[in-house]
């Protein structure tokens, strides 16, 4: 197909930022920096005041499943740097900025200290510790409508190991969600494709009305990450189904 004036492939390539490898910088670091500089979601995040491109992942998931409603009580596990909290604050009306709409609450927890997010309550907490679920419910003053997690374990460089680690985190997040969610609530968490998530999927399907696996547009195409969205929490079940493993 003929290309119009100014639309040549070369012209398009010239629009991208090229990063020269500096002495002492690994090639992988140079490639990461180049990707960041040319990532449209990174640019949008800066322009729209979000703390990272990950904010668009939860925006896109909520646009599809509509779980961040005005008045909702939200728990964001592993909330650093705070982009998901920013999105939740606006959508659940935590600041009361939408007259006539119910005012929600956003609770963020993380192992590390997180810069305050207007409209969100942030706590430094290891959600894996005993009694963490009780602390979350006490801070919320009740149960949550949404538990969400964009957590990932530190990369080991070994794909299958990283997959198993993030599935384990997702399982732990789900265990907390089972205790703190209201009936009808929603659980959203990041996983990496790799096979070990199948048992978790089975368990979630027993606890929720609908479970979907989604790769939002903001998730990079070369990444194996996807998100599980479980809607319609059924509450406690009587058979005490154990977690995988």
Binding residues for S-adenosyl-L-methionine: 82, 84, 110, 126, 150
Place of tokens 């949550």: 144
- Residue 32, classed as helix, strand or coil, is helix
190 is catalytic: yes
**CA dist., res. 163 & res. 200, Å (int):** 13
Instruction: Quote the tokens at residue 152.
Output: 């990932």
* Residues placed in the known binding site: 82, 84, 110, 126, 150
3-state helix/strand/coil string of 50-108: CCCCCHHHHHHHHHHHCCCCCCCEEEEECCCCCHHHHHHHHHCCCCCCCCCCCCCEEEE
Residue 148's nearest CA partner among 181, 115, 194 is 181
Catalytic, out of 43, 190, 215, 226: 190
CA torsion sign, 77 to 83 to 84 to 89?
Answer: positive
Distance between CA atoms of residues 148 and 161, nearest Å: 23
The whole-angstrom separation of Cα 203 and Cα 15 is: 47
Q: Which sign, positive or negative, has the C-alpha torsion 165, 171, 172, 173?
A: positive
Residues annotated catalytic, as ranges: 190
């Amino acid at each position: 197909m003929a290309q119009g004036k100014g639309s040549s492939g070369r012209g398009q390539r010239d629009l991208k930022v090229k990063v020269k490898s500096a002495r002492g910088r690994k090639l992988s670091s140079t490639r990461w920096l180049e990707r960041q500089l040319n990532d449209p979601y990174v640019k949008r995040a800066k322009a729209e005041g979000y703390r990272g491109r990950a904010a668009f992942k939860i925006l896109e998931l909520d646009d599809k499943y509509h779980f961040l409603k005005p008045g909702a009580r939200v728990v964001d596990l592993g909330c650093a740097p705070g982009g998901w909290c920013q999105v939740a604050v606006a959508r659940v009306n935590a600041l009361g900025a939408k007259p006539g709409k119910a005012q929600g609450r956003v609770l963020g927890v993380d192992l590390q200290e997180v810069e305050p997010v207007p409209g969100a309550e942030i706590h430094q907490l290891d959600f894996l510790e005993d009694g963490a679920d009780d602390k979350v419910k006490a801070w919320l003053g009740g149960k949550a409508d949404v538990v969400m997690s964009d957590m990932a374990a530190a990369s080991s460089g070994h794909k299958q190991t990283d997959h198993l680690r993030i599935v384990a985190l997702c399982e732990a997040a789900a265990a907390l969600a089972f205790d703190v969610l209201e009936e009808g609530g929603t659980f959203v968490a990041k996983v990496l494709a790799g096979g070990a998530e199948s048992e978790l999927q089975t368990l979630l399907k027993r606890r929720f009305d609908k479970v979907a696996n989604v790769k939002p547009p903001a998730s990079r195409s070369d990444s194996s990450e996807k998100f599980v969205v479980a809607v319609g929490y059924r509450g406690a079940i009587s058979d005490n189904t154990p977690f995988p493993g």
